[in-house]
Amino acid sequence: MELEFLGTGAGVPGKFRNVTSVALKLLDERNSIWLFDVGEGTQQQILRTTIKPRKIDKIFITHLHGDHLFGLPGLLSSRSFQGGESELVIYGPKGIRQFVQTAMRVSDSHLSYPIRFVELGDEGVIFEDAKFKVSFLRLDHRIESVGYRIVEKSHPGQLQVEKLKEMHIPSGPVYGQLKRGEKVMLDDGRQIDGQDFLGAPQPGRIVTILGDTRKTKNSFLLAQNADVLVHESTFAKNESKLARNYYHSTNVQAASIAKEAHVRRLILTHISARYTGKMANELQKQAQTVFKATKVVHDFDIINVPLR
Binding residues for Zn(2+): 63, 65, 67-68, 141, 212, 270
The CB-of-108 to a second copy minimum distance in angstroms stands at 5
Q: In this complex, which beta carbon is closest to a second copy, that of residue 11 or of residue 147?
A: 11
Residues in contact with 305: Cβ distance below 8 Å, sequence separation at least 6, in sequence order:
1, 2, 3, 205, 207, 227, 228
Binding of a second copy at residue 73 (CB under 8 A)? Answer: yes
- Which positions from 17 through 36 interact with a second copy, judged by CB under 8 A? 18-19
When CB distances are held under 5 to 8 angstroms depending on the partner's kind, the choice from a second copy, Zn ion, none that residue 286 binds is none
The H or E element containing residue 6 is: strand 2-7
The residue within the footprint of a second copy, chosen from 49, 86, 102, 154 (CB under 8 A), is: 102
Closest distance between a second copy and the C-beta of residue 218, in Å?
20
Amino acid at 183: K
Contacting residue, 89, 103, 118, 293, with a second copy by CB under 8 A: 103
Site string for a second copy, 126-165 (x = CB under 8 A): ----------------xx----------------------
Helix (DSSP H) and strand (DSSP E) numbers for the chain: 10, 16
> Is 193 noted as a catalytic residue in this protein?
no
Q: How far apart are CA 81 and CA 15, in angstroms?
A: 28
- Pick the piece of the chain touching Zn ion (CB under 5 A) from 59-67, 84-92, 116-124, 129-137: 59-67
Q: In the chain, which residue ranges form alpha helices assigned H by DSSP? A: 27-30, 42-46, 72-81, 96-106, 161-166, 173-179, 217-223, 240-245, 251-260, 277-288
> Least distance in Å: CB of 240 to a second copy?
23
- By the 8 A CB rule, do 19 and 11 touch? yes
CB of 220 to Zn ion, least distance (A): 20
- Establish if 57 lies at the interface with Zn ion (CB under 5 A): no
- Residues 269, 127, 96: CA angle, nearest 5 degrees: 60
Q: Binders of a second copy: how many residues, by CB under 8 A?
A: 38
When CB distances are held under 5 to 8 angstroms depending on the partner's kind, the choice from a second copy, Zn ion, none that residue 212 binds is Zn ion
- Max distance between CA atoms of the chain, in angstroms, equals 75
Please state the length of the chain. Answer: 308
Piece in contact with a second copy (CB under 8 A), picked from 21-29, 72-80, 111-119, 120-128: 72-80
Instruction: Find out whether 52 and 26 touch, Cβ atoms under 8 Å.
Output: no
User: How many CA atoms, within 13 angstroms, populate the side-chain half-sphere of residue 73?
Assistant: 16
Q: Which of 27, 48, 123, 163 binds a second copy (CB under 8 A)?
A: 48
Query: What is the distance in angstroms between the CA of the first residue and the CA of the last residue of the chain?
Result: 12
Kindly name the residue from 67, 122, 187, 301 that is annotated as catalytic: 67
How distant, in Å, are the alpha carbons of 5, 18, 119, 139, 228 from that of 51? Answer: 12, 17, 26, 29, 21
For Zn ion, the binding residues in 62-81 under the rule CB under 5 A are 67
Tell the smallest beta-carbon distance from residue 139 to a second copy (Å): 15
Nearer to a second copy, 18 or 250 (CB): 18
Residues contributing to the site for Zn ion (CB under 5 A): 67, 212
The catalytic site residues sit at 67
